[in-house]
Amino acid sequence: MIARTVSQKLGINIDHVATLRQARLGEEPSVLEAAIEAEQGGADSITVHLREDRRHIQDADVFELAEKIYVPLNLEMSVSAGILKIALKVSPEKACLVPEKRKELTTEGGLDLFSKRNPLIRTIDALLAKKVDVSLFIDPVEDQVREAARLGAYAIEIHTGSYANAVGKKKEKELLRIRRAARLGRELGLRVHAGHGLNYENIFPLLAVPEIIEFNIGHSIVSRAMFVGIARAVQEMKKIITSGKC
């Protein structure tokens, strides 16, 4: 059992419900119904990524979710002017700025805040003017954490993909990087979130990182939901996060 030091929250990414729907370009399964089930299971927020290629989540999904769900909507988005225009119309409670490549299967790493500084400033300022809480999806690199604070972000979301894919001593090294980045982020006044590649097993060491106050998890929960349903899959993860045990 993990000793609880903070009240950590769980955001549920439902992109892959839309992935299944788009396989037939139909209406099933319903993204909204998935979000409602996740709420019933204890989700603290709902995350969707409106990609530029619209491979899963569609514009209409974002507007419908913003109108009909009760927990905060967290919109993952690139700094594309077209995506920003939609985000400003929707005005979600939260927006997480992420890198995006057309040919990637899923997000491959964190933003390089230095190479995209000007479009990031434009996007962050526009979202903040609409009172949207902005987080930046970054690798656990201390220079990136410091730049996130300089850019005026509300939060950082630490990319945990390298940790999730590592084994043995490399996994311990990745965990140490996450701990250091999280500690620095909190010292700089940032809220610290974490996500990517997390599942019902590898999340446990991260629960002991007190600076992390929110986990955003999608694929493993949607996969589990195929066998037990979304509400129960969310309940199981929420129990792990709140109690530190299965």
How many Å apart are CA 99 and CA 80, to the nearest integer? Answer: 10
The pLDDT value given to residue 6? 56
Residue linked to tokens 């500084």: 117
> Both tokens of residue 245?
């045990």
pLDDT greater than 60 at residue 106: no
Which of 16, 37, 39, 76 is an active site residue? 76
Q: Is position 196 annotated as part of the catalytic site?
A: yes
How many Å apart are CA 148 and CA 172, to the nearest integer? Answer: 25
Torsion angle (degrees, nearest 10) of CA 225, 229, 230, 234 = -80
> Both tokens of residue 2?
């993990």
How many Å apart are CA 218 and CA 98, to the nearest integer? Answer: 15
What is the SS3 assignment for 95-117? EEECCCCCCCCCCCCCCCCCCCH
Residue linked to tokens 């225009």: 85
- CA angle 24-196-125, nearest 5°? 95
The pLDDT value given to residue 205? 97
100: confidence class by pLDDT, cuts 50, 70, 90: confident
CATH superfamily of the domain spanning 9-243: Aldolase class I (3.20.20.70)
Torsion angle (degrees, nearest 10) of CA 60, 61, 66, 67 = 70
Q: Cβ contacts of residue 92 below 8 Å, gap of 6+?
A: 62, 66, 72, 73, 74, 75, 132
pLDDT greater than 50 at residue 3: no
How many Å apart are CA 81 and CA 162, to the nearest integer? Answer: 29
Q: Is position 211 annotated as part of the catalytic site?
A: no
Give pTM, 2 decimals. Answer: 0.93
What pLDDT, in 10s, does the model give residues 62-87? 999 999 999 999 999 999 999 999 99
Residue linked to tokens 């599942």: 199
Which of 16, 157, 196, 211 is an active site residue? 196
Q: Is position 147 annotated as part of the catalytic site?
A: no
Q: Cβ contacts of residue 176 below 8 Å, gap of 6+?
A: none
Residue linked to tokens 């839309």: 18
Amino acid in the structure at residue 192:
V
Which of 16, 37, 39, 49 is an active site residue? 49
109: confidence class by pLDDT, cuts 50, 70, 90: confident
pLDDT greater than 80 at residue 61: yes
The pLDDT value given to residue 245? 74
> Both tokens of residue 69?
């769900």
